[in-house]
């Protein structure tokens, strides 16, 4: 039995959001294909997820060295670990998120700040950082209204590429992407693009 963490980073409803449509299509089909797996859903907009701050930095640094923590640091470390532990123990991780202003929503950036912990998710070496979570698989479900995979806006994409870079830092190399793009730029093809993306999400879920 695998443990699968589903991370949703979109506050909009199913009928408003393409990435949420991808999320639900993937989740439903994954459960059908893997009924015995343990699925954990994490809706970042429903969580108490303050920006990563100095108290968290100091507390996590002290935790690594075994130094005594203040009460505020203990609380901060507990909050970080409540998100980090499920991430570390998951066998597979699925992220669903839109591109907003060329990158990921701030709440997803904050979540990645929480889980990217030296000594737990990666370690430093003389040759540079080395990921410690290479046994995991990940899927990125993304939607963006314009076309950023190629063409004149190709160098402006900092959502999927940012996520891949950060997961690779942690050692996660097995990453599959399902992207719906251009549905706002080309409204005459909107429904077809979304339908194709949902079909791709369903197919990916069955094989993941």
pLDDT for residue 154 is more than 80: no
CATH assignment, 3-207? 3.40.50.360
DSSP string, 28-53: HHHHHH-TTSEEEEEEGGGS--PPP-
Please, what's the largest Cα pairwise distance for the chain?
61
- Annotated binding residue 101: yes
- Annotated binding residue 19: yes
SS3 for 78-140 is HHHHHHHHHHHHCCEEEEEEECECCECCHHHHHHHHHHCCECCCEEEECCEEEECCCCCEEEE
What percentage of the chain has pLDDT greater than the value 70?
Answer: 100
Distance CA 199, CA 26 (A): 9
Q: Please give the model's pTM, rounded to 2 decimal places.
A: 0.96
Q: Would you say 25 and 198 are in contact if contact means Cβ atoms under 8 Å apart?
A: yes
116 forms beta bridges with: none
Token pair, residue 150, equals 């190629």
| pLDDT tens figures, 99-131 | 999 999 999 999 999 999 999 999 999 999 999
Task: List the one residue out of 1, 21, 8 whose CA is nearest residue 92.
Answer: 1
Q: Would you say 157 and 99 are in contact if contact means Cβ atoms under 8 Å apart?
A: yes
Listed in sequence order, the residues at least 6 apart from 87 whose beta carbon sits closer than 8 Å to its beta carbon are: 5, 93, 115, 121
pLDDT for residue 20 is more than 80: yes
Domain range list for the chain: 3-207
The pLDDT of residue 127: 95
What percentage of the chain has pLDDT greater than the value 90?
Answer: 90
Q: pLDDT-based confidence at 171, cuts 50/70/90?
A: very high
- Annotated binding residue 39: no
pLDDT for residue 177 is more than 90: yes
Average pLDDT along the chain = 96
Strand ranges of the sheet holding 137-144, from the earlier edge strand across to the other edge: 38-43, 3-8, 92-98, 137-144, 174-181
pLDDT for residue 8 is more than 80: yes
- Annotated binding residue 162: no
The pLDDT of residue 152: 81
């Amino acid at each position: 039995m695998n443990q699968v963490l589903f991370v949703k980073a979109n506050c909009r409803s199913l009928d408003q959001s393409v990435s949420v449509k991808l999320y639900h299509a993937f989740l439903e089909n994954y459960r059908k294909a893997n009924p015995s797996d343990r699925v954990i859903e994490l809706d970042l907009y429903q969580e108490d997820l303050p920006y990563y701050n100095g108290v968290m930095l100091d507390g996590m640094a002290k935790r690594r060295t075994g130094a005594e923590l203040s009460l505020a640091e203990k609380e901060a470390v507990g909050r970080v670990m409540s998100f980090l532990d499920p991430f570390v123990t998951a066998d597979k991780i699925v992220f669903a998120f839109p591109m907003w202003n060329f990158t990921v929503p701030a709440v997803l950036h904050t979540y990645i700040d929480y889980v990217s912990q030296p000594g737990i998710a990666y370690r430093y070496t003389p040759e540079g950082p080395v990921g410690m979570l290479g046994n995991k698989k990940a899927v990125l479900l993304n939607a963006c209204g314009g076309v950023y995979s190629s063409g004149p806006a190709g160098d402006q994409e900092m959502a999927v590429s940012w996520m891949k870079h950060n997961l690779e830092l942690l050692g996660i190399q097995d990453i599959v992407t399902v992207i719906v793009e251009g549905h706002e730029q080309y409204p005459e093809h909107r429904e077809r693009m979304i339908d194709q993306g949902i079909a791709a999400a369903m197919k990916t879920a069955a094989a993941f």
